[in-house]
Structure 1
Amino acid sequence: MSHENSQHIVVVGTKPDIIKQAPIYHELRERGHDVVLCHTGQHYDHNLSQSMLDEFGVREDVNLEVRGGVNDLVSGITAKLALYLRGFAERGGFPITYVHGDTTTAMAGALATFGERQALVHVEAGLRTLSPKPEVLQGWLDQGADLDWASFREQSIDRTSWSKGSREPSPEQFNTRVADAGTDLHAAPVELNREFLIDEGFAPAAIDVVGNSVVDALALAIAGSDKNQVLQKFPQMGDGSFLRFCVHRRENTTNHFRFNLLMDAMESLLEQGHHVLFIRLLGTEAAIDNFGRRQWLEDLEARYGDALISTPVWDSYLDVVAAMAMCAVIVTDSGSIVEEANVLDVPCVTLRFGSDRSETFLAGSNFLAPPIDKALMTAVIHNVFEHRGELSWERVYPEGASRMLVDAVERRLDEGSLLISEEWRYGLKAQLR
């Protein structure tokens, strides 16, 4: 096992993959490694794929062009990627595959490398959801609109308020667990992820805490972004009062109770005088139509005028970052946006029953508004908005994540320990290939 015959296959399939894998791709290339970018085809719309590739200056070397539902994606990506990776080994190379996070692409990529017995680096490993303990959540529900902000905030940053075991977000929690099961190097963003992995029985020596490459991506985006481009389209955002509101998780957009509750909460915020930037993703659009909300949304836009900006998701990540930085609060069911908010110093509210970026709860940059009670949800969001001036936190994710991750890979290549074996587990020297 050496640097000379290793090939680094950076796999992407979704918009977050591209954003977070691009800095790693560039770091590997700058160090002179043999690197290829493999796109699985999971996301293929321009604003979710090609526009991201263009903005981050990366070009796919191969596109597996897998399409279909979840099972089709899993089987298709696994089979096509395994065949592609097999070629590297047959030519005498040592392929190292990099998958990211909790996507279907990451899970299928792990299946492919495991079946070929090739090395896998799981970028953003150990994502596990923490949810409030039942008695804590019940206490918040009992308060509803009369939420005690000081108590709520204190409980939010207290680790003892939270418990493990959630299956949401789904299928993301399934995907990340499967990916970790086949991983040789767990590149964990924070110590909390390392703790989760060790608790599940993964070898401590196979885990490195390397930060989150979203920080590297944001640095590039901030340097290239221009808030004036956003203000030309939406000048009303200049006063910094807008709530960025987005909902796209399957458990929220396929459940009529949750989705209608979320939309009703957004309407309540407008009624209270808040300004809302409503970002509509593919899942959002489908839910709006499936649950008969299209006319409601058009009426809402007419009623609130400039106070409501309702728009499909934007092509430009640079514009997205510029807009997020101008918002007062980010209200979302996304995971990656929670990370970005922490780095951008914008308070965040998570519209779920927990978060797999729970380090942001403990840091005090993110607060939970579970989609179970409209009064509680609007109270959380309103309180975060009202108290945003007094909120401060240490950034959870350090700079230089891509550098630290590639350092961890190179160290293992030098040691001959990238592929996990029983000999390696016992500290015995062995010919691993």
Structure 2
Amino acid sequence: MKITIIAGARPNFMKIAPIIDAIRRAASGGTDIRYRLVHTGQHYDKKMSQEFFEQLDIPEPDANLEAGGGTQAEQTANIMVRFEKELMEHPADLVLVVGDVTSTMACSIVAKKLHTRVAHVEAGIRSGDIRMPEEVNRLVTDALTDYYFTTSDIANENLRRSGVTEERIFFVGNTMIDTLIKQMPRLRKPPVWETAELQPKAYFVVTLHRPANVDQEGQLRVLLQEIIALSRGLPVIFPVHPRTAKVLANAGVDAPNLYMTGPMSYLEFNYLVRQAKAVITDSGGITEETTVMGIPCMTLRDSTERPETCLTGTNELLGTSPEALRPAMERLFAGAWKKGGIPALWDGRTAERIVGHLVELK
């Protein structure tokens, strides 16, 4: 079987790394399985792309479509035009897409129009918020997918309700956790550790990039001011997403304990998360990592596509109102945050299960 694997943005890289490892192991054992890695170029900043390939031991892509930049529509169109040419020149038995970024949707559409089967890793997750670009990507991708690899029973049920038949759903676990478990011994201190004189469990990590939180300067300012006011003087480390940086430039937020940095590498960022008192975020993937590491997590969103991080893990959905932060922070400082557990099959062997299913497909 010949598989084309798609990677386009930072969340994809953590998900494809263990799959490539598992394919290599299977091939070395005599299994007839090969892959071609296509990087769409959706993320083109070195910190958010090339450095992840290097740190996670992902091989150089066989093709880089260099389709980054532009509006949502321009980026989608560029990826589709360039991937169509790529897939026509290098046909595959199956195109494997991961996650919910623009590249996931765009390459799924192209593959199906060229009569190529599609497998979706992390299928079936839903936020219920159609205003999120990622939700559109999930719905379109899952409408076209042939084989669904899922992270939870909740995702399985979402797919069943949409009419997907049982034999096409494979509950395998979470490849992001495969990567986290493998890389845990290699996590390393970022420069801000020394700059801010950080101590374990005595600082906060903040990440914000969702439109509801960062597109309006006033909302972003109030959120950060509330976080700072409730931090009891502990350092607040804020790696700033490029999307957020543009708004933040005029927000005028400053405090002695606020440390704003550029985007961090995977190994540095997760070192910070692992040692943090808590994480305050609007990211979905980070809630999965905090759940496995047992770190309290506050999500500044009204909905989540990863409810298992709340039901089983250490995450709590607060909403986007700054007023929701105070009671959550009070519980945290009182030592009353829930301990949480690890969802089923988040055990570091998800990619192995995915490849096991792939080689059985006819």
Question: Per the shorter chain, which TM-score range?
Answer: over 0.9
Greater relative contact order, per chain length (Cα 8 Å cut-off, separation 6+) = 1
Conservation of the 8 A alpha-carbon contact between 1:261 and 1:371:
no
Q: Percent identity?
A: 26
Q: What's the counterpart of residue 124 of structure 1?
A: 122
Distance 1:222 1:197 in 2: 32
Counterpart of 2:199 in 1: which secondary structure? helix
Counterpart residue type for residue 134 of structure 2: E
Q: What's the counterpart of residue 161 of structure 1?
A: none
Matching of residue 334 in structure 1 with residue 283 in structure 2: yes
* Counterpart pick for 2:229 among 268, 277, 285: 268
Q: What's the counterpart of residue 14 of structure 1?
A: 9
Q: What's the counterpart of residue 79 of structure 2?
A: 77
Distance 2:357 2:333 in 1: 40
Q: What's the counterpart of residue 30 of structure 2?
A: none
Distance 2:327 2:197 in 1: 24
Counterpart residue type for residue 192 of structure 1: I
CA deviations over 1:317-364 (Å, ceiling 9, x no partner): 111111110001111000110111111111111011111111111114
Q: What's the counterpart of residue 394 of structure 1?
A: 341
Q: What's the counterpart of residue 111 of structure 1?
A: 109
* Counterpart pick for 1:171 among 133, 136, 143: 133
Distance 2:277 2:188 in 1: 18
Counterpart residue type for residue 186 of structure 2: G
Matching of residue 53 in structure 1 with residue 1 in structure 2: no
RMSD over aligned Cα atoms: 1.8
Distance 2:313 2:291 in 1: 9
Distance 2:196 2:229 in 1: 24
CA deviations over 1:128-180 (Å, ceiling 9, x no partner): 11xxxxxxxxxxxxxxxxxxxxxxxxxxxxxxxxxxx3225x10111111111
Change (3 A) 1:25 1:324: same
Q: Tell me, which stretches of 5 or more residues in structure 1 are unaligned?
A: 1-5, 130-164, 417-433
Conservation of the 8 A alpha-carbon contact between 2:181 and 2:348:
no
Change (3 A) 1:249 1:405: same
* Counterpart pick for 2:177 among 215, 219, 244: 215
Conservation of the 8 A alpha-carbon contact between 1:335 and 1:357:
yes
Counterpart of 2:129 in 1: which secondary structure? coil
Distance 1:342 1:230 in 2: 25
Counterpart of 2:126 in 1: which secondary structure? coil
Matching of residue 321 in structure 1 with residue 316 in structure 2: no
Using the size of structure 1 for normalisation, the TM-score is 0.77
More helix by share: 1
Counterpart of 1:128 in 2: which secondary structure? coil
**Pairing of 1:125-274 with structure 2 (within 5 A):** 125-129=123-127, 165-168=128-131, 170-227=132-189, 233-234=194-195, 236-270=197-231, 272-274=232-234
**Pairing of 1:24-103 with structure 2 (within 5 A):** 24-32=19-27, 33-58=33-58, 59-67=60-68, 68-89=70-91, 94-103=92-101
Counterpart of 2:304 in 1: which secondary structure? coil
Count of residues paired in the alignment: 353
CA drift at 1:52: 0.3
Counterpart of 1:331 in 2: which secondary structure? strand
Counterpart of 1:57 in 2: which secondary structure? coil
Distance 1:382 1:311 in 2: 27
**Pairing of 1:266-415 with structure 2 (within 5 A):** 266-270=227-231, 272-289=232-249, 292-293=250-251, 296-297=252-253, 299-300=254-255, 304=256, 307-314=257-264, 316-372=265-321, 374-387=322-335, 391-396=338-343, 397-412=346-361
Counterpart residue type for residue 129 of structure 2: S
Counterpart residue type for residue 53 of structure 1: F
Conservation of the 8 A alpha-carbon contact between 2:117 and 2:145:
yes
Using the size of structure 2 for normalisation, the TM-score is 0.92
Counterpart of 2:360 in 1: which secondary structure? helix
CA drift at 1:257: 4.8
Rg larger for: 1
Counterpart of 1:226 in 2: which secondary structure? coil
CA deviations over 1:270-326 (Å, ceiling 9, x no partner): 4x434311221101101113xx21xx23x42xxx2xx33221111x21111111100
CA deviations over 1:17-58 (Å, ceiling 9, x no partner): 111111111211221132111000100000000000111112
